[in-house]
Amino acid sequence: MIDLHIHTIASSDGQHTPGEIFAMAKDAGLTAIAFADHNSIGSVGEGVSLAASFGIEFIPCLEFNTICRELDLHILAYYIDYTSARLARWLEEVSREKKTQAGMRVKKLNDLGFALSVEDVDKFAYGHLFSQGDHEQRGKPGR
């Protein structure tokens, strides 16, 4: 059995560290997994390192979000070169745009009378807004 669409805490909707996921995968009898974090390769290197010690095949992956003809698309890219400087630069650009969009949304909410700051949003997002991919610094939600 395999699971090729797993989100780690490097993704805005992930809840578990790479090590926790490998342990759960081993307990479930999975033979291959892929971390498919949204617009982040922050856990892929750790996944590559953990694979041999858990005896589970690991596939480097990225789930990137895009818009095409007003449709929100999520595209899974398997066997990515997670060491690519070009990919890292592109993902940093995506992260900067995400932060800009969050600021614009907060401004709209403030204009409607809500008392909210971008820092509030980041706090309640467990650091995912400003620390995309830097899961070592964030910790897990609820901590």
pLDDT tens, N- to C-terminus, the chain (143 residues): 999 999 999 987 889 999 999 999 999 999 999 999 999 999 999 999 999 999 999 999 999 888 889 888 999 999 999 999 999 999 999 888 888 888 899 999 999 999 988 888 877 766 666 544 443 333 443 33
* 3-class SS of residue 126: coil
* 3-class SS of residue 104: helix
- pLDDT value at position 129? 63
Kind of pairing, strands 32-35 and 2-6?
parallel
